[in-house]
Structure 1
Amino acid sequence: MNSNKPRLSIIIPVLNEEEHLFTLLQHLYQHMSFPLQAEILVVDGGSVDNSKLEFDRYKGLHPEFRVEWIQSQTTGRAAQMNTGARWAKGEIFYFLHADSFPPVGFDALILEQIAKGNRAGCFRMQFNSSHWWLRLAGWFTRFNWKICRGGDQSQFISRELFESIGGFDESYRIFEDNMLIAALYERGEFTVIQKTLTTSCRRYEKTGIWRLQYHFWMIYLKHRRGAGPDHLYAYYQKHLAK
């Protein structure tokens, strides 16, 4: 393994991701421009499937890369990502969902934005679906508007900026990505890289496109009207956690 300090720390929160994890790790290293300048931290939130076995299988095949499995002591994606940030050695964090696949040269694109003084941002996004609504939703992610943002688009941020915000708010069991994004927009610290990340539409396939979209809108509206993290999570548990 390269002993030099990594520049980029890729932080992936997982929970029962055996289906995607090996493929994602393959994808990341095949699409990086500078793989020896990065580390990947897979932060587990209590998986009971074969996620760890899939991780070990990849790491065994590629001992030359920095890939680490971290067991979060606290459940919830916000806590997992904060745990990854505490372990990270890089000065740039890249938070990525396990079913989202960034574009070719994504690491170089992030480093380029940092060099320009853009300390936080994401990629454009497309779903792996031809459904017109999901294609339209993906099309809107090219615009640098807060309403078009979400965690599936991934999030790069400098360590300094992340720590100044206080990281992810762990009181939010859902909507944690949106809270960080809102803080970044309030500071005028957000850019959209005009290259496309592909994310899975599995939630839409499982729940139904219109049903899932309706409940996402309701969560967003409830937050806008002042609902706190416990209320949002209770709504999510009632309507979407099945």
Structure 2
Amino acid sequence: MISIIIPVLNEAKTIKDVLFHLIDNASLTSISEIIVVDGGSTDNTIEIVEALDLNIVLLTSEKGRAKQMNLGAKHAKGEILYFLHADSFPPQRYDASIITEVKKGNNAGCFRMQFDSNHWWLRLASWLTQFSWRACRGGDQSQFITRALFDEIGGYDESYTIYEDNVLINELYTRNEFVVINDKLTTSARVYEKNGVWKVQYHYWSIYVQRWFGASADDLCAYYRKHVC
């Protein structure tokens, strides 16, 4: 059984579509629950989730995706945890693909990704996600991981307010516990469209390199807030 965990913060524009997409594209016998963890939304995200009457587990958390995802994992009942951003849409029968990989002994991984944009660079970046290179990984691709392995690692590092997905992914690569499923998840290019493709890509690369050379969680957060958000 899979527990789907979605951290949200002011996601009123997408949350309804994502939740219906998850239900429409899976066998519900495979899904233990869908958990939405709100980090202090000031729009009507919570009201939208409640109004859908879909038996969604709605939790409130301190702001910060790592804290939100860890809280969701704490309440999850499934043997497989599936962490998904609120603007990402998994492929059809994503549940079957994940379960198949776990049965093969692959305890963690993600899907290939494509942006909802025709910009040539974002199309190239999407194409590169089919490869197993660590530099091509990110939270937008979603993350499945068995409960046992997640607990063994200790969950997401809550000292990171950004880059938390990659910290966990790095740990999984170190353990040789990562597989890329050859099905495409579609994610929003909204950050690139709002701030400019080249600007955002440059700063994302810069964050990656800074972390590689030992930058702290606080340093990365300060850089992100100054240059991206």
Q: Please report how far the alpha carbon of residue 36 of structure 1 lies from its aligned counterpart in structure 2 after TM superposition.
A: 5.9
Letter in 2 for 1:145: W
Provide the C-alpha distance between the structure 1 equivalents of 2:44 and 2:80, rounded to a whole number of angstroms.
29
Query: 2-side partners of 1:225 and 1:84: how far apart?
Result: 31
Deviations 1:19-51 (A, max 9, x none): 000010000000002356331000000001010
Q: Does 1:48 align with 2:42?
A: yes
Higher alpha-carbon deviation: 28-37 or 195-204:
28-37
Match of 1:211 in 2: 199
Alignment of 1:154-169 (within 5 A): 154-169=142-157
1:13 to 3, 7, 22: 7
Residues 35 and 225 of structure 1: CA distance in aligned 2, closer, same or farther (over 3 Å): same
Residue correspondence of structure 1 range 87-236 to structure 2 within 5 A: 87-236=75-224
| Cα distance in 2, alignment partners of residues 149 and 189 from structure 1 | 14
Q: List alignment gaps of at least 5 residues for structure 2.
A: none
Q: Deviations over 1:102-144 (max 9, x none)?
A: 0000011101111111000000000001110000000000011
Cα RMSD of the aligned pairs, angstroms, is 0.9
**What TM-score, normalized by structure 1, do the two folds share?**
0.93
- The amino acid that maps onto 1:52 is I
Query: Stretches of 4+ moved more than 2 A in 1?
Result: 33-38
Match of 1:71 in 2: 60
Match of 2:22 among 7, 13, 28: 28
List alignment gaps of at least 5 residues for structure 1: 1-6
Identity %: 57
Q: Match of 1:238?
A: 226
Counterpart contact for 1:34–1:108, Cα < 8 Å: no
Q: How many residues align?
A: 229
- How far is the alpha carbon of 1:216 from its aligned partner? 0.4
What is the deviation of 1:240? 1.3
Aligned: 1:39 with 2:33: yes
